[in-house]
Structures are given as structure tokens and as C-alpha cells.
Amino acid sequence: MSVSIKNQTEIEKMRVAGRLTSEVLDYIGPFVKAGVTTNELDKLCHDLIVEVQKGIPAPLNYAPGGHKPYPKSICTSINHQICHGVPSDKALKNGDIVNLDITVIKDGYHGDSSRMFYVGEPSIQARRLCEVTYQSMWRGIRAVKAGAYLGDVGHAIQSFVEPMGYSVVREFCGHGIGARFHEEPQVLHYGRPKTGLKLESGMIFTIEPMINAGKKDIKQLGDGWTVVTKDHSLSAQYEHTILVTDTGFEVLTVSDGCPPPPANV
């Protein structure tokens, strides 16, 4: 496994890309309401990234091995959609929960982050799932420091959500990121302490747990991208891009409107 250690110039470029990514999420939040289509959200984000930030939306035409090019600039995953939901002309409705996943390329470097948004007033169960998922991401983040292991990150997430009856999606994970969208290492959201890759200062990767209200099993839709829960249960996801430091971590995908870390996990 070849994991790149970023130098100070690269880290500074990642800070810029991360801030821009988070600012897109700040910007789009007020537009997430009943009656809007995810295509409309996609266009708003695309125009901000390209015309204002002078960046590139990384998902647009992204085509990893075996996939046809992704057709949109953001991912919009609604209710039982786990990840990679493709924007469409279907309107959001009151009570929906939706994950917006944004990746901005600026000066050759990627920032990657996602948040859950409520459309109107979600059910108590949906809100609780989103809150626990956000807390689980932060439990994973707080396990990061030089000398720790990726297994510590996965265990922090898994041991938090499973006792509550939720499940961790296994087929998708966090990833190294930098000049390329997806680099080594793979960051699993489950695992055993003190196993896996030992973390070093200068590593940058995403932590992005996908948590299901029901079972962990998934299936892919016919569009070749959208992944849903097999049992049609709700799913939630949050994501930040993280730098490993000597003393802990630095979250790179932050902005003025970024939700604050939870105090109690």
C-alpha cells in the first residue's frame, strides 16, 4: 500500500480546496426544501463551483474502472439511498432526508465533504439516525493521530452505532485524497483497535460513515451509480477530509457555516 505523505505546500492547497467544498454546502442549504428538484440543486452547486470559485466539480464525468461517467456535478442521496445518488427532476418532499456530497478541485487538489439536510420536518427516527451518524463520524475523527491505526477509526464508529441497532455499510469506505480523487488508504468504518495501517503525520483521507437504520445489505440501481439499502430502510452519511498531525488531526473541510463538532461523544 503506497500512501502519500503530503508536504506543506500540498497541505495548504488541500486546506483551500476543503474550505471551498464546505462553502458549497453552506451555500446550498437554504435551497434544500420541498418542491425543489435535485437537478436544480446540482445546477446551483455547479455554477457556484465553476463561475464563482473557479474550481472544478470532481464528480462530473468521473469514470473509475468499470463505471460509465458520472453525469452530474454533485451526489444527492435521498432517504434509503446510501450514496452516489444521481440528481434528477424528481422534487424533494416534506420529511425527506438528503445527503449532498460535494468534491471541489482547486489548483489540482481535491476537497471532499458531505452533509445531511432535512426537507421540512423529518420523522423522529430519521432525525435520530442523522444525529447518530454525525456523532459517529466525529468519534472516528477523534481517533485520528500519528501512531494510531485505521482500525481504531473504524472501531470507534462501529462500536458506537451498532449497540443502537444501526448497521455500518461495508462495501464503501473513506479514502486517501489529494491530487487524485481517490488514493490509498481505504478507510473502513468498522474494524478492530490497533489493526490496519499505522497513521503518520501528513496523511490526508476522508472519514465518511454510511449508517443504515436497518440491515447493512445494499444493492445498486440500474443507473450504475445509485446505491440503496436492500431492505429499504433509511440511510445517512456525513463526510470530512482529515489531515493527520503529530498531536491529532485537522479537519480540512471547514467553513463559517460548518456544523460544529458534537460536544458529548
Q: What is the pLDDT of residues 120-137, one digit of tens each?
A: 999 999 999 999 999 999
Residues of the chain with pLDDT under 70: 1
CA atoms within 13 A on the CB side of 146: 9
Amino acid at 40: E
pLDDT in tens, 150-190: 999 999 999 999 999 999 999 999 999 999 999 999 999 99
**pLDDT given for residue 51 in this prediction:** 98
Domains in the chain: ranges and CATH = 8-251 (3.90.230.10)
CB 169 within 8 A of CB 182: no
Question: CB neighbours of 247 closer than 8 A, spacing ≥ 6?
Answer: 145, 146
Q: What CA–CA distance (Å, rounded) separates 265 from 161?
A: 12
Q: What CA–CA distance (Å, rounded) separates 260 from 149?
A: 25
**pLDDT given for residue 265 in this prediction:** 73
Q: What CA–CA distance (Å, rounded) separates 77 from 11?
A: 30
* Tally of CB atoms within 10 A around 116: 23
- Calculate the average pLDDT of the chain: 97
